[in-house]
Amino acid sequence: MSDRTTCWLLGDQLNPDLDVLDAADDVLLIEAHGFADRKPYHAHKLTLVFSAMRHFRDDLRERGHDVTYVRADSFGEGLDEFFAGRRPEADGGDDDSGPHLRLMRPASHGAGERLRELVAERGGTLELVDNELFWTTPADWREWAGDGEAAIGEDGAAERTFRQENWYRHVRREADVLMDDGDPVGGEWNYDDLNQETPPDDWTPPGRPTFEPDELTRETHAWVRERFDTWGNDSLDEFGWAVTREEAREALDRFVRDGLPAFGRYEDAMVGGEPFLSHSLLSPAINLGLLDPREPVRAVERAYAERGVEPGAYDPDDHGDGGGTTTSLDEFGGDAADSEDGATGGSAAESGEPAPVPLNAVEGFVRQVIGWREFMRHVYREAMPELADANQLDQQRELPPAYWDGETDMRCLSEAVGHVREFGYAHHIERLMVLSNFALVYGADPAELNEWFHLGFVDAYHWVTTPNVVAMGSFGTDVLSSKPYASSGNYVNRMSDHCADCQYAVSRTTGEGACPFNALYWDFLKENEETLRGTGRMGLMYSHVDNKDDAEWESIRERAARVRELAADGEL
């Protein structure tokens, strides 16, 4: 076998500080395009992925790495080109002396084994090693979870279920994150009850850092528009995502300085015309590998050590205007003056000292990264391939046209879809409690909803969307949740300002003009009573179901049927 080792890095492993690079003689990157030919991905997603790969190629070369960069329709074709001139017969070697490649195990199910087969078919060997861009390893998970499979049956029931809170506490202990002599800092593991407020009308969120697309990004974007059939906004004017590690670090610094103080309190809020609020917007960079997940977690820990206050002690409304500029749809990517480092948008540092950082904000962010992100990755590994097709409620309806065109009088749905169409992004509550919730109570096929998320979001990968959308958002299986995340319009009304300006009345369940969420919600509970009534956390909801008489149920079903008809026809 050849004594030369090539480090093969995929398009979501774009970090120059990986240990796997240290022992490699050269680096292989294959820019495979076939996946984007098969489905209409968001133009910003394709631009982000391909531009980040091309920038990473150039960065590695500047650092002295010998990089082979192949553009091909498939990984197989890319390997053919890489292997040309490297085959054993080219230098008189034996049949088993083909190139040796080392690859961090891909996150997507079965990808590592498929790639190993492709390499073997061409006379080489592929060594799979742990993926450094996750905080925890499969061995860490197995040590915590013990033996036993999470196989999902045809009825969607999992042989074994997992709960995020238990995992989250375990990882915090093992990684010593926000810990104080074995106990959680502040005495509590979870401050979610302090993170459910909506901002006052006069509060302005900090400006989102954006980065002026350079020549390589503009060239990539033009190629994407010409090469592929895409979905969503295809203008580069609103593209502001980090495509390099340097930009990703700047985005992290800006979040810690400006966004983190208000992140916790308003992390579940939805405000019309404000797609970003105080969210970090770091998930695209983390999922591409531009940021190691340890970096943002340790950064917010340091911020708490330097500027920390008690949970809930800091009120963003008392700190002036938040120190930033608006991030509304109209102003994003607009006329904000460029800073010296290329990022745009205001900052607290420009108008005074950075705001205090309350513990509930830090804990809420840490939970997203080492709680949910790591948890979802491992549940995905455990539950695939059955997870992708899980559908325990037997939901079969096609996704309404509003998910593609955003044309609906439901203000919450229109806003959320509009954010995805415009930026390839919507924050976690819009994803779960508007986009997934509506599809759930409407009765949409979980697999179709999963594909929509995968196509539309810049941070979406199969390992990300499948557990979040199929299991959590669609309740296709109970592998990670004991109840569906279904709600009426009351939740949206409590967490947003959408209902006040909506043509539908959130106070009404039946009749023309009633909020579509309301009738769909009760009809959903009734339709799925056999499956849901027995779950431990649905007792209260079914006590309300039992209190409705036949006449009320007839009106609910009539309204729900009408809503589904309007939605299917694109007239909701």
The pLDDT of residue 379 is above 70 = yes
Residue 411 or residue 482, greater confidence: 411
- Comparing 212 with 147, the larger pLDDT belongs to 212
Q: State the pLDDT confidence band at 331, using cuts at 50, 70 and 90.
A: very low
pLDDT digits (tens, 9 = 90+) for 239-293: 999 999 999 999 999 999 999 999 999 999 999 999 999 999 999 999 999 999 9
Tokens of 195: 């993170």
Predicted local distance difference test score (pLDDT) of residue 387: 96
pLDDT of residue 374: 96
pLDDT of residue 89: 52
Q: Is the pLDDT of residue 104 over 60?
A: yes
Classified as helix, coil or strand, 38 is helix
Q: Are the CB atoms for 108 and 454 separated by under 8 Å?
A: no
pLDDT digits (tens, 9 = 90+) for 524-559: 999 999 999 987 678 888 999 999 999 999 999 999
Residue 326 binned pLDDT confidence (cut-offs 50, 70, 90): very low
Check whether 317 has a pLDDT greater than 50.
yes
Q: Strand 100-104's sheet: what is its strand order?
A: 67-72, 26-32, 5-9, 100-104, 125-129
Average pLDDT, the chain: 90
Q: 54-58, 330-334, 376-380 — which is least confidently predicted?
A: 330-334
* Block residue for tokens 């779950």: 535
Evaluate the CA torsion angle 203, 208, 209, 213 in order and state its sign.
negative
What pLDDT does residue 553 have?
95
Where is average pLDDT lowest: 90-94, 114-118, 145-149, 391-395? Answer: 90-94
pLDDT for res 149: 79
Check residue 548 and give its pLDDT.
Answer: 92
- Which pLDDT value is given to residue 178? 96
On whether the CB atoms of residues 183 and 177 are closer than 8 A, the answer is no
Q: Given this model, what pLDDT does residue 327 score?
A: 32
Is the pLDDT confidence value at 446 over 50? Answer: yes
Tell me the three state secondary structure of residue 127.
Answer: strand
List C-alpha distances in Å: 418 to 240, 246, 411, 412, 424: 17, 29, 10, 10, 9
Helix, strand and coil in the chain, % to nearest 5: 50, 10, 40
Query: What is the pLDDT at residue 340?
Result: 36
Joined tokens for residue 436: 């997934």
**Per-residue model confidence (pLDDT) at position 450:** 98
Residue-wise pLDDT tens digits, 432-444: 999 999 999 999 9
Cα-to-chain-centroid distance, residue 438: 18
Tell me, what's the pLDDT at 87?
63
Residue 323 confidence (pLDDT) above 60? no
Confidence class for position 328, pLDDT limits 50, 70, 90: very low
Q: What are phi and psi of 76, to 5 degrees?
A: -60, -45
Whole-number pLDDT of residue 462: 96
Q: Which of 110-124, 344-358, 380-394, 460-474 has the lowest mean pLDDT?
A: 344-358
Average pLDDT over residues 511-529: 96
Relative to beta strand 125-129, strand 26-32 is unpaired
Residue 349's pLDDT band, with cuts at 50, 70 and 90, is very low
Task: Answer yes or no: is pLDDT of 1 > 50.
Answer: no
pLDDT in tens, 52-98: 999 999 999 999 999 999 999 999 999 999 999 676 554 444 445 68
How confident is the model at residue 314, as a pLDDT?
A: 87
The span from the CA of 249 to the CA of 233, in Å, is: 26
Q: What is the pLDDT of residue 96?
A: 55
Name the β-bridge partners of 29: 9, 69
CA torsion, ordered 431, 433, 436, 441, to nearest 10 deg: -170
> CA separation (Å) from 24 to 19, 133, 261?
9, 18, 42
pLDDT band at 201 (very low <50, low <70, confident <90, very high): confident
